[in-house]
């Protein structure tokens, strides 16, 4: 069998932690920060752990990320 391919877009955007969870950057911070509340900007800092259903989809894109 040939090797399975990893989606290039997924490997650039997501990282799998040692415990198997998927880490991603926060959404909604590209533009339009003026209209966003200060609380939103503060809580959307850094990265976030994806929900279980989203995690399952992302892991299917990265067969070798364990």
The one-character DSSP state at 39 is: H
Distance in angstroms (rounded) separating the CA atoms of residues 66 and 64: 6
Distance in angstroms (rounded) separating the CA atoms of residues 4 and 60: 11
- Per residue in 14-49, pLDDT (tens digit) is 999 999 999 999 999 999 999 999 999 999 999 999
Tell me the pLDDT band of 66, cut-offs 50, 70 and 90: confident
Per-residue pLDDT, 7:
96
Q: Which structural domains are found in the chain, ordered by start?
A: 8-61 (4.10.410.60)
């Amino acid at each position: 069998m040939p090797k399975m391919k990893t989606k290039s877009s997924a490997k650039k955007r997501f990282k799998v932690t040692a415990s198997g969870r998927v880490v991603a950057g926060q959404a909604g911070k590209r533009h339009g920060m003026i209209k966003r509340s200060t609380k939103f900007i503060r809580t959307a800092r850094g990265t976030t752990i994806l929900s279980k259903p989203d995690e399952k989809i992302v892991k299917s894109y990265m067969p070798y990320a364990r």
